[in-house]
Amino acid sequence: MAGFHAVVVLVLFASAMWAQDKNQSATSPSKPSAHAKPSVPESGAVRDGAYHNSTFGFSYKLPFGWVDRTADMQDGSAKASQSRVLLAIFERPPEAAGDTVNSAVVIAAESLVAGVKTAAEYFESLNALTTAKGFQSKEEPREFSVGITKLVRGDFSKARGTLTMYQTSLVTLEKGYAISFTFIGGGQDEVNELIEKLSFASRNPAH
């Protein structure tokens, strides 16, 4: 797989977290799905200090004082039915210089291409693109649970001068879409704390 639009956005954006790296990279459009999706993925909404997405059944508690740049990263064209950034938040404005890693959380939904049936298959593209941007994989992607929801998790790091950027990505499939959760911070403990703010709605068993 050559890599999907949302994954490319996430990886390129992660590599641009450093204030001194402001070049915008072009991405190629993703391959169309074998079957048209019934609707554009729901944008979700922020209320009571948390982002909520009822379509995909998850919420994310926003760190206090962080900057929301979701609207700046969303594609308003027809391609939005295939790929959409659902949430993009930063510890400080991306354009602001700083001496530390600008921690961030980026969540996106990507329409699945034909033949992709598991989160692990989708994660192959994410893993390849992330390492291609100079990140080192800390271990093989593995299953990871948030509540009762099963995801695939990969942990990466990238040295830059005296600092090291840590990135963890989680992927799950829902309603014909891959949902990607990317967490960036200056240390693995910080990244893990960001992951703890993610939760999924309880699902009642079918009757």
Range of the domain at 76: 5-200
Per-residue model confidence as pLDDT tens digits over 110-119: 888 777 889 9
Q: Domains in the chain: how many in total?
A: 1
Per-residue model confidence as pLDDT tens digits over 7-55: 434 444 443 443 334 333 333 344 444 444 445 677 899 999 999 999 9
Q: What is the 3-state secondary structure (H, E, C) of the chain?
A: CCCCHHHHHHHHHHHCCCCCCCCCCCCCCCCCCCCCCCCCCCCCEEECCEEEECCCCEEEECCCCCEECHHHHCCCCHHHHCEEEEEEEECCCCCCCCCCCCCEEEEEEEECCCCCCCHHHHHHHHHHHHHHCCCEECCCCEEEEECCEEEEEEEEEEEECCEEEEEEEEEEEECCEEEEEEEEECCHHHHHHHHCCEEECCCCCCC
Residue 40, domain CATH: 3.40.1000.10
- The whole model's pTM is what? 0.80
Give the pLDDT band (50/70/90) at residue 76: low
Any domain includes 207: no
Any domain includes 146: yes
- Top-confidence residue, 125 or 25: 125
Any domain includes 67: yes
Any domain includes 84: yes
Any domain includes 205: no
57 closest CA partner among 169, 194, 172, 135: 172
Any domain includes 51: yes
Any domain includes 91: yes
